[in-house]
Structure 1
């Protein structure tokens, strides 16, 4: 009841907001148009940035020296959890080693759950490992199972929840082919393993509340359907499709297909979109129609909405707040109403991107690189790229070329940021043989670009 009340209140707020902002669409231009002139209250100070960099550097060196991780992996972990003293992480490593985990196994666990390095190991790890021991697990079983599926230690909630989870994992890792006491579960797991479904996906199936691998007739029917539809057993889509066919009756599936047909899809289009994202059929008729109405309320035509759903069917599950909030974010950054819609039409994955990350990317591309907002709007895929790992390396190469006078003007944003890596290197690095070693160093981050 509370959720319905909150939804109703939020819907009224969004309706009022739409009346103010979207009617007509050009009124979007009345929102602030100069977003790059001042820092917000939440922007980090230079001192905070410097401290964060120092913590990441300390963490990276610690992981390299303590576990022998590669610099790349250590840097990746430090971006998710970092520290400036080694007492806590030392305790974590000591605890895991005391249970017989090798350094490679510990590396696997820490890579999956970097937060262990900064949390109290007595609360997060020792109690869980001790419980597994009490439950009868041997040291070799614990190290084998946990290192292959670190998710066991990452489970939140009461520690007793992990014992059943642990037993499920053992069922997967154990060879049950010759067992004369096979249950439906072990038999079905064997079928999926023979099809090529990887361990990590089997685990998700086993711990699901729906228990799609515990039945017999329904399981066989569901697997037969998704295999006939051509789903790749090694992909997550295969498992998602199994959930859908297992949980929904044929009548319900027909009704869901009918909802999309009412919205202008053909049956073939529905199933083609389902193959892209099987959860397309899990939502209620109300949720499906609401998403279509929200997108139309943003100024898109019915045909444009259908195209967006075909390209990015995940948007069906996106909340009304996120859809409207995305358009609002683009407009506040200075994009016109038409440009905001262009962004969504060309790259629907931009729906739901965090406003602060969109702002930081747009600010860099416009303020630092000099591209116009309309250039960004025409190539919106760049807003979904990592600023640190993708945009900066390429842009630093471009800025170095301009500063050296090797290119006269800023290239098109599509050439710089959407071309494949090898094509980019060919035209912006290898072409300039006299400085290509320096440009490679800038591109890989081995050398810092200084403007």
Structure 2
């Protein structure tokens, strides 16, 4: 990939509103996946979840989440724990492996041969535990060649990040030239050189995402993302989202999407400014956009207010109509904040009703009922819902610390029913 300009030193001649690129099909990385089995029901299921909590110290919530992804029982857990422990893995390593890749609980029979195979190739116990605890999905590889290939590359990334001297990574010479595996490793090497964090590189290595399997299209899309100013080191997730979307959308789809936003009142500059803020903005379908417009208009916002809300908080386009209406209705009808305050502070639509909006508003209503806040002096929506918990409590609760009973009452209201 010698032609790739990693830091935007080459001027790229393309018109942002009319980006030209074609959709390229790429087969998924199938060798690093394992089938997910629906969880078992009944007493055995409950016992298995409890045993996972007991054996590895998982929270009940985490154990239950894992149980919804794969079916396992006490024997599965014991088998996996014993196997990993005999190969030098600590409980911390094992916990991370099961959390990230719970499928190990249903491929226990194939784990031993894979671990022995890696050891036979010279992997030490410390190397095995470090690499596999960071990227356990490698254990889903079905063939020795695939296992070797992805293990070696993951090990290179770990060692490169630990070394004080920059080390350039290269695709394995054993990979067929032009293969999707070679493309994936080469592309991830480029992303590593650009400073994309190790954790995300591992995620991409074992993922099904199309853009890391491409070649010319990957280079083209990456150059465009860099030219647009996305920084892979400081805005990593936005950088990857932008790369994924520019890779996936055809020229026709992109032009049509921009035209839809134009008709709603967004300028071309608006569209690309919002894209840089929230790349997923361009992935919403015409139906998603139309439904979102309908929702906001039904609530009582004007089209201009809708445009302003999206400019300030584009994430709201992905919210369900039910969620947006429920939150807007609560803020306006329950708290008497004017609808225009949501236009000024649209990020409140992204706050949790259970964790933030309801508890904090109940505290404010408590203070109002006691005459400590007059209705005509209702605090701003920003000061109530946008600040941190600590700032909120300091401003509205702890200022009354001379009245211990009142503070206790408000703290009970603040914490009641909150989902942690």
TM-score normalised by structure 2 residue count: 0.62
Over 3 Å counting, the alpha-carbon distance change for 1:185 and 1:407 in structure 2 is same
Residue 188 of structure 1: aligned partner: 153
Counterpart contact for 1:109–1:147, Cα < 8 Å: no
By how many angstroms is 1:398 displaced? Answer: 1.0
By how many angstroms is 1:102 displaced? Answer: 6.1
Counterpart contact for 2:359–2:414, Cα < 8 Å: yes
| 2:239 equivalent to 1:275 | yes
By how many angstroms is 1:192 displaced? Answer: 3.1
Residue 423 of structure 1: aligned partner: 391
* Bigger shift: residues 267-276 or 245-254: 267-276
Counterpart contact for 2:66–2:99, Cα < 8 Å: no
Quick one: which of 305, 309, 327 aligns to 2:275?
309
CA shift digits 1:231-267 (9 cap, x unpaired): 2223479738996764222355326756x8xxxxx92
**Whole-angstrom distance in 2 between the partners of 1:288 and 1:240:** 28
Residue 403 of structure 1: aligned partner: 369
Instruction: Identify which of structures 1 and 2 has the higher relative contact order when contacts are C-alpha pairs closer than 8 Å and 6+ apart.
Output: 2
Number of aligned positions between the proteins: 324
**Whole-angstrom distance in 2 between the partners of 1:443 and 1:213:** 56
* Bigger shift: residues 247-256 or 143-152: 143-152
* Bigger shift: residues 107-116 or 394-403: 107-116
Counterpart contact for 1:312–1:348, Cα < 8 Å: yes
Counterpart contact for 1:365–1:371, Cα < 8 Å: yes
Unaligned runs of 5+ in 2: 1-39, 86-90, 125-143, 163-177
Counterpart contact for 1:257–1:270, Cα < 8 Å: no
By how many angstroms is 1:110 displaced? Answer: 5.7
| 2:183 equivalent to 1:232 | no
**Whole-angstrom distance in 1 between the partners of 2:283 and 2:63:** 27
Q: How does 1:14-93 map to 2 (within 5 A)?
A: 89-93=42-46
Quick one: which of 419, 430, 438 aligns to 2:409?
438
By how many angstroms is 1:346 displaced? Answer: 0.6
CA shift digits 1:199-247 (9 cap, x unpaired): xxxxxxxxxxxxx99956x456434421232222234797389967642
Partner SS, residue 301 of structure 2: coil
**Whole-angstrom distance in 2 between the partners of 1:361 and 1:165:** 49
By how many angstroms is 1:399 displaced? Answer: 1.0
By how many angstroms is 1:397 displaced? Answer: 1.3
Counterpart contact for 2:211–2:218, Cα < 8 Å: no
| 2:278 equivalent to 1:334 | no
By how many angstroms is 1:417 displaced? Answer: 0.9
CA shift digits 1:353-397 (9 cap, x unpaired): 011111111111111011111111211101111101111111111
Over 3 Å counting, the alpha-carbon distance change for 1:241 and 1:295 in structure 2 is farther
Over 3 Å counting, the alpha-carbon distance change for 1:147 and 1:303 in structure 2 is closer
**Whole-angstrom distance in 2 between the partners of 1:436 and 1:195:** 53
